[in-house]
Chains A and B, each alone.
Chain A
Amino acid sequence: MLTKRIIPCLDIKNGRTVKGVNFVNLRDAGDPVELAKQYARLGADELVFLDISATLEGRKTMHDMVLKVAEQVNIPFTVGGGISSIKDVDDLLHCGADKVSINSSAIKRPELINELADKFGSQCVVVAIDAKQIDNEWMVHLAGGTIPTKHYLFDWAKEVESRGAGEILFTSMNNDGTKSGFANEALAKLAETVNIPIIASGGAGTIQHFIDTFKIGKADAALAASVFHFGEIDIIDLKKELKKQHIEIRL
């Protein structure tokens, strides 16, 4: 049976791991390569690296980091942040990234999804969607939830699927950083809307939140950062508990 996936997310700035709480107040949580190796050993199914460097210099360090991760880590990983062209993706895949995640560049030019899927295959194209629920409507946002777009979450999800996205990474900006659980209602509706895998993101605080996002939110994978980085949830303990709850998991 295909298992549900547990994905630690590492925010990277200038080659170092950081984690945003509601995307501000960053705290350093270590060297990304060491952290990645440790997560692979501890039972993570996959990793996501999100480059939040604002400078060109910072972005360049990302390629070195991706190379080192590919060299030393034996599980798949996705790289996101600031990717806006076929060349960006080509470079990252050549450094050994398995998948790339695009977000604002897909909003700005949706054709990019088609181009990447055609050139590299849907399997390596993850479209990240940050959305915020405002007056009962889930609206897609950019720049860490600060800039609203005209896109409705569910329509946009359908569009990215039809353009060739292989997976959706959905972050609820209402839940992110709150540790109060994932946005399971929206996730379950997403699962009904599209037929590609969905990674739930934003809100992980307890083991029960992961159980709920798989059972109620119908997520295929769950992503979290600080609860893993600061040792609040141990991945093996989490997986044992998920298994006890009859959720298919790799142990």
Chain B
Amino acid sequence: MKTVIINYGAGNIKSIQFAFKRLGVDAQLSKDPEAIEAADKVIFPGVGEASSAMHMLKQSGLDRLIPKLTQPVLGICLGMQLMCNHSDEGQTNGLGIFDVEVKRFSKAVKVPQMGWNTIHNLKSNLFHNINDAEFMYLVHSYYAEICQETIATSHYESEYSTALKSDNFYGVQFHPEKSSLAGERLLKNFLNL
């Protein structure tokens, strides 16, 4: 099985590669469209600012490639947010895979949300053997609203989508690669899809 982590210049991808390595999986970093298309599993990471990350995707043509992929794709953190319709961060359009908007937390809470929060209403094989109220590590200032494609929720200020799914596309707001054993289980589940 070939697992590719899309390397388009946004974020701490080494951590994701190391997390797979701890699971005994040698995930490749690549921005080569052919390698990405040929992979069995694709990870779409992202840390940083939405509009500049989107700009980097456009420069490499990955904005057109990613929505056409047919194998399981997992967006992580900003990766998940870029798979949505639109983000308030830099007022950028996303890839439109998930039919939902990305909003900023209000000043009623500390921004960014930083730390471990619980996940609920789990509705996908991605959460196989992961219990309701399991803890995952999150760092984010923007969130996807609840929608038809929500497969897990967390609460910060209000309920929001902490995971999304549309066909072969999955997205998680939390960092499974930094979420201890529960996060490793989720990555394993993704590999088993």
Contact = CB atoms under 8 A, between A and B. Distances in A.
Chains A and B bind each other: yes
A21 B163 CA distance: 44
B112 A166 contact: yes
B115 A123 contact: no
A85 interface: no
Given A45-B116, A70-B14, A221-B115, A195 B178 contact: no
B115 A2 contact: yes
A169 to B, nearest CB: 12
Most buried by A among B114, B138, B141, B184: B114
A76 interface: yes
A46 B22 CA distance: 18
B105 to A, nearest CB: 10
A123 B47 contact: yes
B112 A96 contact: no
B110 A196 contact: yes
A162 to B, nearest CB: 13
Task: Please tell me the size bucket of the interface on A.
Answer: 20 to 34
A121 interface: yes
B184 A74 contact: yes
Interface in A209-227: 220-221
Nearest to A221: B115
Contacts of B111: 195-196
Contacts of B184: 74
A23 interface: no
Interface residues of B, number: 36
Nearest to A126: B114
B25 to A, nearest CB: 14
Nearest to A191: B110
B116 A250 contact: yes
Interface in A184-206: 195-197
Contacts of A118: 49
Contacts of A124: 12, 47
A121 B21 contact: no
A197 B178 contact: no
Interface in A58-95: 70-72, 74-76, 93-95
Contacts of B103: none
A22 B53 CA distance: 43
A74 to B, nearest CB: 5
Contacts of A141: none
A220 B12 contact: no
Contacts of B43: none
Given A74-B181, A123-B139, A3 B117 contact: yes
Nearest to A96: B14
Nearest to A194: B110
A17 B103 CA distance: 42
Nearest to A122: B112
A197 B155 contact: no
B179 A74 contact: yes
Given A74-B19, A74-B178, A74-B183, 7 more contacts: A3-B135, A72-B22, A96-B14, A122-B141, A196-B110, A196-B112, A250-B135
Interface of B: 12, 14-15, 18-19, 21-22, 47-49, 107, 110-118, 135, 137-141, 155-156, 175, 177-181, 183-184
10 contacts: A1-B155, A46-B115, A70-B18, A74-B19, A95-B14, A98-B139, A98-B178, A118-B49, A123-B112, A220-B110
* 8 A-B pairs with least C-beta separation: A121-B48, A96-B14, A123-B139, A250-B135, A250-B116, A76-B178, A2-B117, A197-B114
